[in-house]
Amino acid sequence: MTALKPFLSDNAAAVHPKLWEAMRAADQPDHPYDGDRLSAELDARFTALFGRECAALWVATGTAANCLALGTLVQPHGGVVCHREAHIEVDEGGAPGFFLHGAKLMLCGQEHGGEGAKLTPEGIAALIDPVRNDVHQVQPHAIAITQASEYGRTYTPAELAALGAFAKERRLCLHMDGARFANAAAFLGGSAAEAARAASGPVHSLAFGFIKNGGMGAEAVVLFDPERAMEVRYRRKRAGHLQCKGRYLAAQILAMLEDDLWLANAAHANAAAREVAAGCADRLLHPVEANELFVRLTPGEREALRAQDFAFYDWGADSARFVTAWNTRPEDAQALGRAIAAL
Ligand SMILES: Cc1ncc(COP(=O)(O)O)c(C=O)c1O
């Protein structure tokens, strides 16, 4: 049997060898929970990267990172404005309702990725302006955006600045689901610090993803108002997310930050996505900016690709999603581009 050419999900990509090394090096006596010397380094490392003071905590899933951060921004009687196809709405099994104690998700934008699942100040205003300012209606407390978006689109620094200004004017907090933050940062370019700042803009909190990008089981909750960190610590414990061997999670994150591995891995994944895109530009449903491709393909065409051992998910009746990763082999990406072109 030929080996599968994996384009199913970056969630399934292998763990980077440097992270195995880092976890092996962490495999020695230290304090439990987040009292170890590696967890203690996180605040300073992220502060250096973003060039503004922040606190950073590890968690094991992106869902927990999003919901623990949002929990500090939104009260139970408030709402979080997000795109109707945002991961927090469609792929977190109701976790926001659970972690935010019933706070409402207020859904914005069109279905089927109309605008690549990106939010704009105008779109948000159209949703929240009609909300009456009285106790009978849920008031928005925060906006959640996804960088890169659920359709692989990135927010530019100008778009982030506009959203930040809008949020400030409306006294809303801004959270970023950065499950693919690295891919967005790599697309925007520059040094690691420049890319991280450009991709994050003026957000209050960021769920900085590592798992899709060569990590095993560690994401960072980054809080640009470090005063909120203690609240997240209590919430993390109460939610059953305080791991007693936290040093192995911290080790993964620190190894990703070391020598900007996070950015190099994402740049590799993005380059592989561009290789595929070169073969199917006329079929793309969204511009390819990060590491996901949404491609118009009939059921028969998908079958033909699967017969050639390409693994991917169907995306609705007439399209498919392909995801590249830090370890996608260039020859597999080129082969996929050629196979689609030949259909
Ligand atoms: C946009 C987005 N946000 C968050 C997540 C995190 O999900 P999980 O809780 O499975 O780690 C994912 C993973 O698929 C994602 O694609």
Predicted local confidence at residue 2, as pLDDT: 63
Q: Is 63 in the pocket of ligand 1 (CB under 6 A)?
A: yes
Q: How far is CA 125 from CA 103, 106, 171, 338, in A?
A: 19, 12, 13, 44
Predicted local confidence at residue 91, as pLDDT: 94
Give the tens place of pLDDT for each residue, 1-29.
567 889 999 999 999 999 999 999 999 99
- Reported in sequence order, the residue ranges of 190-333 that DSSP labels E, i.e. its strands, are 205-208, 219-223, 292-296, 310-311, 313-314, 319-323
Amino acid at 262: W
Residue nearest to atom 8 of ligand 1 (CA): 62
Evaluate whether 69 touches 229 at the Cβ level (below 8 Å).
no
258 Cα to the center of ligand 1, angstroms? 23
Q: Of the candidates 226, 242, 259, which is a domain's last residue? A: 259
- The domain that holds 51 is classified in CATH as 3.40.640.10
Evaluate whether 199 touches 168 at the Cβ level (below 8 Å).
no
- The domain that holds 274 is classified in CATH as 3.90.1150.10
Q: 305 and 331 share a domain?
A: yes
Q: 288 lies in which domain range?
A: 5-12+262-341
Give the tens place of pLDDT for each residue, 196-252.
999 999 999 999 999 999 999 999 999 999 999 999 999 999 999 999 999 999 999
Domains: count for the chain: 2
177 Cα to the center of ligand 1, angstroms? 8
Q: 324 and 187 share a domain?
A: no
Atom of ligand 1 nearest to the CA of 66: 4
Give the tens place of pLDDT for each residue, 118-154.
999 999 999 999 999 999 999 999 999 999 999 999 9
Q: 196 and 299 share a domain?
A: no
62 Cα to the center of ligand 1, angstroms? 5
Predicted local confidence at residue 283, as pLDDT: 97
Residue nearest to atom 7 of ligand 1 (CA): 62
Atom of ligand 1 nearest to the CA of 61: 11
Q: Of the candidates 259, 294, 321, which is a domain's last residue? A: 259
Predicted local confidence at residue 135, as pLDDT: 96
Q: Is 179 in the pocket of ligand 1 (CB under 6 A)?
A: yes
Residue 284 DSSP class? B
Predicted local confidence at residue 111, as pLDDT: 80
Give the tens place of pLDDT for each residue, 30-61.
999 999 999 999 999 999 999 999 999 999 99
Global model pTM greater than 0.75: yes
Q: 313 and 232 share a domain?
A: no
